[in-house]
Amino acid sequence: MNIFRLSGDLSHLAAIIILLLKIWKSRSCAGISGKSQILFALVFTTRYLDLLTSFISLYNTCMKVIYIGCAYATVYLIYVKFRATYDGNHDSFRVEFLVVPVGGLSVLINHDFSVLEILWTFSIYLESVAILPQLFMISKTGEAETITTHYLFCLGLYRALYLFNWIWRFYFEGFFDMIAIVAGVVQTVLYCDFFYLYVTKVLKGKKLSLPA
């Protein structure tokens, strides 16, 4: 494992922990898109089905279990535990516009036409756009809490670090996965505007606001 993948995994884990702590400590899921969290839960579920068929390492298994567990814990907190604080009116992005095209694309473009491989490809494609309901919600409300922006920053940083991971693996291991790289680029691009606002506003103590 190279430093970029490890850093990416830790950044991803930090994002998840930040979000869970934010919800639990404030006893509120205000400003959090439940739809994005459902999509992430779907991403981890379809990607890590290989937990039932193969073992790579203890680290790999533990991280997969943590991601799945935390994803469903977040969904539970939003839709059950603190449902009264969930702002469904602003969380109005039509997720079927993401899931249906991604599902079709994963069937058409994949490495191997098998159930597990198609589901893995589906998870890669879906993760690249799963944050859109959250970004749409922020643009609709006009602003985001600082802790929510920290969550988004760590999530975007994880994806950017994984791009460097793919570059490292290509040069030092000869490994190249076009599907993962293209999806990673798309996901990172979606965060670019947010990264700029995060650095120029949030880190200077200003409240983040996105244009509607």
Q: DSSP per residue over 63-78, as a string?
A: HHHHHHHHHHHHHHII
Helix, strand, or coil (residue 144): strand
6-10: long-range contacts, CB 8 A cutoff, minimum separation 24 = 7/161, 8/157, 8/158, 8/159, 8/161, 8/162, 8/165, 9/63, 9/158
> Is 55 exposed, middle or buried, given 0-12, 13-18 or 19+ CB atoms closer than 10 A?
exposed
CA dihedral 88, 92, 95, 96 (to 10 degrees): 110
Give the CA angle between residues 155, 158, 162 to the nearest 5°. Answer: 145
DSSP 113: S
Query: CB count, 10 Å around CB of 164?
Result: 15
CB 93 within 8 A of CB 33: yes
C-alpha 136/C-alpha 167 separation (Å) is 31
pTM: 0.89
pLDDT of residue 199: 61
Residue in the block written with tokens 């998870």: 123
212 residues of the chain, pLDDT tens digit each: 789 999 999 999 999 999 999 999 999 998 899 999 999 999 999 999 999 888 889 999 999 999 999 999 999 999 999 999 998 899 999 999 999 999 999 999 999 999 999 999 999 999 999 999 998 888 777 666 767 788 888 988 898 899 899 899 889 888 888 898 888 888 888 877 666 666 665 555 555 555 54
